Amino acid sequence: MLAIQQILRNEPTVDDFFLAAVLVEAGMKASSSNATLKIAALDIYSKLNAASRSWAIYQELQIKHIQLDTCTYLILPVLQRGGYYQEILKVAKGLLMLHTSAVRETGEFMGRAMDNGILSKADEFMFFQREKMTNSLTALEATGLMMDSAPFFAHDVKDATIGRAHGIVGEEADFDRATEMVVEVRNPYGALSLLERTLSEKNFDGISDNRDLSILLYEVLYRREVDTREDILNDSIRRGHTHNLLIRSALCVHYTKGPKKGKLVKPGAELSECSKVLLLAIESAAGYCAKISEPVLAHLMSAQLELGRALLVVNSGTGLGEAEDTMEERETHAVIHVQEAMACIERATASSKFLDGRRDVAFVCRLLPTSVAPLFAVFRMCAEIFETFGWGRRKSETKLVAGKFAKLAAEFSVFVKAMQAAFSR
């Protein structure tokens, strides 16, 4: 352990981490039950983009019970940076099951304590549940990661109950998913509780950081990077806004009615209500988007917001302002939003530096669920709406909005190919 700390103490290179991996493997071979060596190995292999080995070692630690809340911070960021979305679902699901069972068990043990006249112990149980478990920072992070990972398994026929239930991907089945998800939003122990918290913008000050950082005290010369409480909260809030937008957009698409004989159809009550709540979500997310420090994430989220506005102005006329509600005005305003979305994606491509030789695999794996997949889902929804109004792909030469949308698709393709290039290096 001392040798590893010595090797990594001064701006370690890839070669340094490789040598550290050799040493830690030798240590684990000699002491197969040494948890500290395994904890050190998780970070070393993460720096080498070897998330598969980190995951194998994490499973050997046999994290269970309350350790799921205090120690999963060791693996969740590693899996995210390595693109191990199925494993993220597994860890997050186990963590939320712990919180669900804790509620039941806390009530049971409080009753036992009171039956035996130990009121102080009953109070301890109540405090632990209300202040620590219900407001757990790790659980908050897990809910967001679960929502981010779900779309990748929306079509998995093996074991993807979460994916089929929560994966908004811009298709017809999204409406059924969205309606089921809305019902679960107020369940404080489910993944969708994040959405309710983001909407109300409450309960974040009382979030409890239960992570056990004392297990890293051996790191005296080299210290791994651990996300701060503020970093996790900001990421969770951003995910909440993103998935609120996806759910509301899916509902709007379902209730959209195209024009009849070239004339607009008055929006029904359902579409009017869905449009109102989507507009509120866009305005709320726009306020948060301005605070995002990472340029690529900020630009991609801005693109999603602009496509959301384009969707609204086309399907219900929301956002026309003082202009008369006509097909021509809807198309004109949609062009403005599509152009702005395209500019946002261009800025994201430039900020990412993927085309300039950046080869950050971890950043690519992080971008894919947090920004690219949600943007693609909204892109598909807009494409469906435009097709409904007669502005589909086949009209890209004759309709201005269809042509601009085709150019946006091309710019989006450039960004995705840039990600692929960075990943392949």
Domain parsing of the chain, residue ranges: 1-62, 74-214, 256-424
Prediction pTM value: 0.89
CB 307 within 8 A of CB 285: no
What is the distance in angstroms between the CA of the first residue and the CA of the last residue of the chain? 32
Handedness of CA 131, 137, 140, 146 (dihedral sign): negative
CA 204 to chain centre: 17
Q: What is the largest CA-CA distance in the chain?
A: 81
Q: Distance between CA atoms of 396 and 425, rounded to whole angstroms?
A: 35
Handedness of CA 319, 322, 323, 326 (dihedral sign): positive
pLDDT values of the chain reduced to their tens digit, one per residue, 425 residues: 999 999 999 899 999 999 999 999 999 999 999 999 999 999 999 999 899 999 999 999 999 888 999 999 999 999 999 999 989 989 988 888 888 888 888 888 888 888 888 888 888 888 888 888 888 899 889 888 988 988 888 776 565 566 666 788 888 888 888 887 777 766 666 667 777 777 665 667 788 899 999 999 999 999 999 999 999 988 988 998 999 899 999 999 999 998 988 788 888 899 999 999 999 999 989 988 988 989 999 999 999 999 999 999 999 999 888 888 899 999 999 999 999 999 999 999 999 998 888 778 889 999 999 999 999 999 999 999 999 999 998 898 889 999 999 999 999 999 999 999 888 87
CB 412 within 8 A of CB 379: yes
Handedness of CA 216, 220, 223, 228 (dihedral sign): positive
| Nearest Cα residue to 188 out of 129, 234, 248, 238 | 129
**In this structure, what token pair is assigned to residue 368?**
């894919």
Phi and psi, residue 260, nearest 5°: -120, 120
